[in-house]
A and B are shown apart, each in its own frame.
Chain A
Amino acid sequence: MVFSADDWQAIRLTLELAALTTLLLLIIATPLAWWLARSPSRWRAPVSALVTLPLVLPPTVLGFYLLVLMGPNGWLGQLTQALGWGLLSFSFTGLLIGSVFFSLPFAVQPLQHAFESLGARPLEVAATLRARPLDAFFTVALPQAKGGVLTAAILSFAHTVGEFGVVLMIGGNIPGQTRVVSTQIYGHVEAMAYTQAHWLAGGMVLFSFAVLLVLAGLRRGRDRVMP
């Protein structure tokens, strides 16, 4: 057996976290990207900068502030305690919130580009055919931005699988709840269990390579349709 029971548990948890994060991100990022692509508001630049922030910030910064925010003195911690949910740190829900923040730009940016490249024309045509905005969005804009949606989903998923710093900072390394593949690898390396580390780390490399390969394939497919 190459992977231990602990390793499998970490793999399963990582996939669950990545899948849920992707789902949540598509729900959150789609309207956000739409607004960023279309809105004439002067708030667009600051919001766009805010969304992109996790791309440049070290995960430890994000993780540290999340830890402070979710703690008993942070507003999020006070809110969840008032609601009777306890603290979110060291929980799967906490990780999920962290992952959504962390992977936000990876979902928003492809969607935003896709919406921007649509231009105004298809929606204007839809409007002249008396499609309501929401109707036009779902029947015209979204199908045409399909490539962007797919890229956003794949990138969010892959990026969450590879997440490390945030999990380390707010996770607490609880088996089955917050111990994911990346932290498991880290533990193996620190404990000098290099063979186990190699199997998991090598698997991660292969997985990431496969994801990028799929993305490249998608891009080429799209180019062929629209030369």
Chain B
Amino acid sequence: MVKRFLSVIAATLGLWAVPFAAVQAGEVNVAVAANFTAPMRKIAPMFEADTGHKAVLSFGSTGKFYAQIQNGAPFDVLLSADDTTPAKLEQEGQGGGKDRRYTYAIGTLVLWSKQPGLVDAQGEVLKTGQFDKIALADPRLAPYGAAAVEALTALGLLDTLKPKFVQGENIGQTHQFVATGNAALGFVALSQVWVPDEQGGKLKEGSVWRVPAKLHQPIRQDLILLKKGQDNAAAVALLKYLKGEKARAVIQSFGYGLE
């Protein structure tokens, strides 16, 4: 009886020891821009396996994260959808030290439809205008939306297409508008419609046009180490890990560019 009791205690202590060890190995709270969800879900377990540190991920829009960080949200690192928000945070004294902010990915804008064959390889469909609605992220809120407007301006199509605009508050919602067919086509991030594989990946479904990068400013996605994470070894390790070969390969496989 006593023996059994002791073994229960030992087992309980054993259960405690595991998370305790994990805490010692370190934990980093990461705020991740919605468009980087898929690659980060893949990178986090690799990071954990390689370094022993655990990355706790929150996904959302950059604007919301900004407001939350200003009001004391417990994030160590922000993977932003743009480069202005991290710069702004640093200016406001929310950064975690010098050289702790860099471009981790460059976004690829695509015009996507769920219907196969609707979007052609040259994006000519925009000129024919034979669709009811075109979805894009609110250009004021999302860099992908701003890039879409720049591209349409460069093509001289902004004014003709504007009446057909429907705007999501971020590209996650924009994708939803197109995926449910309520908008025939829309501007989203390549990472949202791309499945990586050994052959370089393929389109999940529908049809797509990669908007040429020269039609808009590069969508630089910067990360920043925040004040709360400056002494967190796991946070510093994550910054280093995202610059490493393994993480870079994953980021590229989802269709992002790199510096």
Contact = CB atoms under 8 A, between A and B. Distances in A.
Interface of A: 64, 67-68, 70-73, 77, 86-87, 89-90, 168-170, 172-174, 183, 186-187, 189-192
Contact of B167 (A73, A169, A174, A189): A174
Interface residues of B, number: 23
A72 B67 contact: no
A190 B182 contact: no
Contacts of A89: 177, 182
B222 interface: no
Contact of B133 (A70, A168, A172, A191): A172
Contacts, number: 67
Contacts of A90: 133, 166, 182-183
B166 A172 contact: yes
Interface string B176-189: 11001111000000
Contacts of B169: 168, 173, 183, 186-187, 190
B255 interface: no
A71 B182 contact: yes
Contacts of B141: 187, 190-191
Nearest to B84: A192
A73 B178 CA distance: 12
A174 B182 contact: no
B180 A71 contact: yes
B182 A86 contact: no
Interface stretch (B2-10, B58-66, B203-211, B229-237): B58-66
Contacts of B183: 90, 172
B135 interface: yes
A159 B165 CA distance: 28
Q: Which of A72, A77, A190 has the most CB of B within 10 A?
A: A190
Interface string B51-75: 0000000000101101100000000
Given A172-B166, A172-B167, A174-B165, A187 B138 contact: yes
Contacts of B61: 190
Contacts of A168: 169, 173
Contact of B182 (A67, A173, A191, A192): A67
B64 A190 contact: yes
A89 B177 CA distance: 9
B124 interface: no
Contacts of A68: 180
Given A87-B182, A89-B182, A172-B133, A189 B63 contact: yes
Nearest to A94: B182
Given A67-B180, A90-B133, A190 B168 contact: no
A172 B135 CA distance: 8
B181 A173 contact: no
Given A86-B132, A172-B135, A174-B167, A191 B181 contact: no
Contacts of A174: 165-167
A183 B63 CA distance: 14
Contact of A173 (B64, B66, B132, B167): B167
Given A173-B168, A191-B141, A70 B182 contact: yes
A70 B180 CA distance: 9
8 closest A-B pairs by CB: A172-B166, A190-B63, A173-B167, A89-B182, A72-B181, A71-B180, A71-B181, A90-B166
16 contacts: A77-B181, A90-B133, A90-B166, A168-B169, A169-B173, A172-B133, A172-B168, A172-B183, A173-B138, A173-B166, A173-B169, A174-B165, A187-B140, A187-B141, A190-B141, A191-B141
